[in-house]
Structure formats: C-alpha cells, structure tokens
Chains A and B, each alone.
Chain A
Amino acid sequence: DQQVKQNSPSLSVQEGRISILNCDYTNSMFDYFLWYKKYPAEGPTFLISISSIKDKNEDGRFTVFLNKSAKHLSLHIVPSQPGDSAVYFCAASEGGSWGKLQFGAGTQVVVTP
C-alpha cells in the first residue's frame, strides 16, 4: 500500500513566484520527513527535512511545513527559479526502521519564464 502520496503529478509555476508541493501520508508512526529533487537520469538530491517534533523548517528558498494532525506536509519554494524544474519526491521514515524511506510518486515542477 502507498503510505506516502503526492497527488499532483505536475506543477507549472512562473519564475519568481511561489511553488507549493504537497504530500500526504497514512502511517502515524512516521517521524522523519524529507524532500528530494531529481533531474532525469540522475540520483535524487536531498533538499530539506523535518522531524515530527517540529512543524516548520527553513533553508534558504526552501521551507517545509508539517501538519501532523492532518498527516500532511508541504514544500514551499520562494522564489521559483528555472533551475528548480525537476521532479520532487516526498519521503518518510519510521523510527526503528533502519532509516528505510517510503517515497511518494513525485511531482514534476516546471518553472516558466
């Protein structure tokens, strides 16, 4: 069963505007969440993470928000740049699971001029 879901397969945003990517999960035991960015034919690159004891984490243009009651997290990219065009994966891990990650299906972001 898919425990991490990214329901928007694609997102188009204008350069300079905000990109908001969403992710939902079903496993209440998840306690660590990550976002990865992936270009075609390359490995995913780690962007930002958040522990379940926090509700927000910020790193430069990237901010991740966690709503545990709704089992929902989001990634905000402000401002969006052409180099942000990529597939973004949400991932989650459960404590005691040897760091195994469950990934969402990904959201393709296209930043237009």
Chain B
Amino acid sequence: SQTIHQWPATLVQPVGSPLSLECTVEGTSNPNLYWYRQAAGRGLQLLFYSIGIDQISSEVPQNLSASRPQDRQFILSSKKLLLSDSGFYLCAWNLAGGVETQYFGPGTRLLVL
C-alpha cells in the first residue's frame, strides 16, 4: 500500500530564515505530487505540482519554490521566510496519467515569527 510522509510536523522559524519541507511517497512509482497551503480559517490553495523529476509548475507567484530531486520526493523551500508564509502545508500525491483521487500527507504546521 502507498504511504506519504511529511516532515517536520511542526516548525517555528524567524522572519528571514530559510525553509525546507520534505515530502516522500512510498509504494508507488512516478506519482504526480502536489504542495498545498491552508491558511488559518481558509481552504486549500495549490502551490506547486509535479508530473515528474524536475518537472514542476507553480500555481501562484510567491516567496516559495519546489524541487523534485527524486521520483518520490518533493521539497518545498524558501530562501527568506515572510510572516505571511505561516500556515499548514500539505503534500499530496495521485497516480499519473489521469484524473485520480489525491491522497494527502499529515501536513506541516509552520509558524513564522
């Protein structure tokens, strides 16, 4: 069966510091991968999606970037965090090739102070 991991679970960072959040999927090959953010009291906003290694698309202009160094690894980064980057970050995957249900990881809660 497939599982998706995210770490860290919680992170408190000062404004201006760098960020690296990691997501790893097990039990499948060549998945589509997604990063979402949920701001307090709001819905899920798609940030990035990837259909393969080094194939990443950004949905919204922002202070963040994403990379996919391996087939089942997806990383969300920032060089300098802003207060507005605080939120709950979720990684998700689905099967490549069609419209398939997305399955989410446990999320990372980021607080920028």
Taking Cβ atoms with an 8 Å cutoff, the residues of A that contact B are 6, 31-32, 34, 36, 41-46, 49, 89, 91, 93, 95, 98-106
Contacts and interface: CB of A to CB of B under 8 A. Distances in A.
Given A44-B44, A46-B102, A101-B46, 7 more contacts: A34-B101, A93-B99, A95-B99, A98-B32, A99-B98, A100-B46, A101-B102
B90 A44 contact: yes
B87 interface: no
Interface of B: 6, 32, 34, 36, 42-46, 49, 51, 57, 59, 88, 90, 92, 94, 98-107, 109
B18 to A, nearest CB: 24
Which of B43, B51, B88, B109 has the most chain A CB within a 10 Å cutoff? B43
Nearest to B10: A41
Given A41-B109, A43-B90, A43-B105, A99 B43 contact: no
A102 B49 CA distance: 13
Which of A31, A91, A98 has the most chain B CB within a 10 Å cutoff? A98
Given A89-B44, A105-B42, A42 B101 contact: no
24 contacts: A31-B99, A34-B101, A34-B102, A36-B104, A41-B107, A41-B109, A43-B92, A44-B104, A46-B102, A46-B103, A49-B101, A89-B44, A91-B44, A95-B99, A98-B32, A99-B98, A99-B99, A99-B102, A100-B34, A100-B49, A101-B34, A101-B102, A105-B42, A106-B43
A105 B43 contact: yes
Contacts of A44: 44, 90, 104
